[in-house]
Amino acid sequence: MKNLKKAGRMAMGAVALSLAAYTANAQVGIGTTLPQAQLHVHDGSLLGTSKSMDPQNHPFYDPSNPKPIEYGFKWLHDKGAFRVVNQVVGKGFLEPQVIGDFSFASGFEVSAQGVAGTALGIRNVADGRASLATGYFSMAVGLQSFAHGTSTLASGDYSVAMGFQVSTNYKNGSFIFGDATGASQNDADHQMMMRFAGGYKFFTNSLANVGIQLPSGSNSWSVISDVNKKENFAPVNGEDFLQKINKMNLSSWNYKGQDPKTYRHYGPMAQDFYKAFGQDAFGTIGTDTTINQADFDGVNLIAIQALIRKMEQMNAEIITMKAQLAEAQLAQGRKKKRMLATSGK
């Protein structure tokens, strides 16, 4: 009898293990008799919520006004939208009316009411269609707009706002990027604006010795021109530069497609400039379709230096001529005096 009971217990244990193994590998369907995953919910939403949590879990916890928070996730099958949020209890960030079709939001009290909008981070809002808001207190409300950083606002359609306290100010197609020193906003459509109180540096090679700078507080670009970052120096003939400039076709003109009544310019053609100054003893300088501002300034300075030397030479010659003229006038005066003295005898 004991052996029979023992065999029975073993048999029940084997059945239990088999059921456990079957359950572990089974597919559960809700709303479907043909589940395609271990949990398959068909034509229905999913909701997961937590109990009310300690107010100290609030990212902006205030002991004088403690507010309990809750966690939750929600899949809305009829909107194709998903939420993973943390919020003050009862705030309603999981309510269907504040969730846009095909949208996604994850973080603390984030909202994406725009169609296909995405909001990530802390109290960000993506209300524009296919917009994206990330960071902290950022809003992307324009169509296909992007806001990232702290207190950024991409309110213009197809606009981008990045950094700290910057706004595209409802200007379409605009871009603004700001540092952490103040507040700025676009003031025109299709405009790029940046604010960096520490200045700007742009390098065009891996050694970071070729490029331009806009130092803090300055109002024009500075070309990197440190002698310690240069090599292969070659002398130039200033007189030759003057002759080449003298032969250049200098005129006024406008770019094709621009209104000639509004957008006119002075200067040489890149082809002429390149033909005159595009080669030195070492290699090529510039291209035949562009004029490098640093090279343009260099050519001007070389020409100015040549003119100064010509003027110095001319001045020296003038001084010599004046001295010779003065000497001749003195000699003429002496001669006249001798003649008068002779005639008076």
Query: What is the b/e burial string over 315-340, where b = at least 16 CB atoms within 10 angstroms of the residue's CB?
Result: eeeeeeeeeeeeeeeeeeeeeeeeee
Pick the CATH number of 234-345 from 1.20.120, 1.25.10, 2.20.25, 1.10.10: 1.10.10
Hunting for tokens 């310019």 — which residue is that? 265
Is the pLDDT reported for residue 98 higher than 70? yes
Is the pLDDT reported for residue 18 higher than 60? no
- Structure confidence by residue, pLDDT tens digits, 184-201: 999 999 999 999 999 999
- Work out the pLDDT band at 242, boundaries 50, 70, 90: very high
Write down the architecture of domain 44-197 according to CATH.
Answer: 2 Solenoid (2.150)
Q: Which amino acid belongs to residue 324?
A: Q
Distance of CA 56 to the CA centre of its chain: 38
Contact 293, 212 (CB under 8 A): no
Q: Three-class SS of residue 164?
A: strand
Q: What is the average per-residue pLDDT within 216-241?
A: 95
The confidence score (pLDDT) of residue 248 equals 95
Say which range, 13-17, 139-143, 281-285, has the weakest mean pLDDT: 13-17
Hunting for tokens 């700001």 — which residue is that? 178
Length of the chain: 345
The confidence score (pLDDT) of residue 8 equals 54
Say which range, 3-7, 27-31, 94-98, 154-158, has the weakest mean pLDDT: 3-7
Is the pLDDT reported for residue 20 higher than 50? no
Is the pLDDT reported for residue 164 higher than 80? yes
The confidence score (pLDDT) of residue 227 equals 95
Q: What is the average per-residue pLDDT within 94-110?
A: 97
Q: Three-class SS of residue 336?
A: helix
Q: What is the average per-residue pLDDT within 215-241?
A: 95
Q: Which amino acid belongs to residue 246?
A: N
Query: What is the b/e burial string over 193-209, where b = at least 16 CB atoms within 10 angstroms of the residue's CB?
Result: bebeeeeeeeeeeeeee
Q: Who has greater pLDDT, 29 or 289?
A: 289
Contact 35, 68 (CB under 8 A): no
How far is Cα 200 from Cα 143, in angstroms, rounded to an integer?
30
The confidence score (pLDDT) of residue 345 equals 59
The domain segmentation of the chain, as residue ranges, is 44-197, 198-231, 234-345
Sequence-separated (6 or more) residues with CB below 8 Å from residue 222: 212, 213, 214, 215
Is the pLDDT reported for residue 16 higher than 60? no
- Structure confidence by residue, pLDDT tens digits, 256-284: 999 999 999 999 999 999 999 999 999 99
- Work out the pLDDT band at 19, boundaries 50, 70, 90: very low
Task: Write out the two tokens for 91.
Answer: 């705030």
Task: Write out the two tokens for 39.
Answer: 């949990």
How far is Cα 69 from Cα 317, in angstroms, rounded to an integer?
92
Sequence-separated (6 or more) residues with CB below 8 Å from residue 213: 199, 200, 201, 202, 221, 222, 224
- Work out the pLDDT band at 12, boundaries 50, 70, 90: low
The confidence score (pLDDT) of residue 278 equals 96
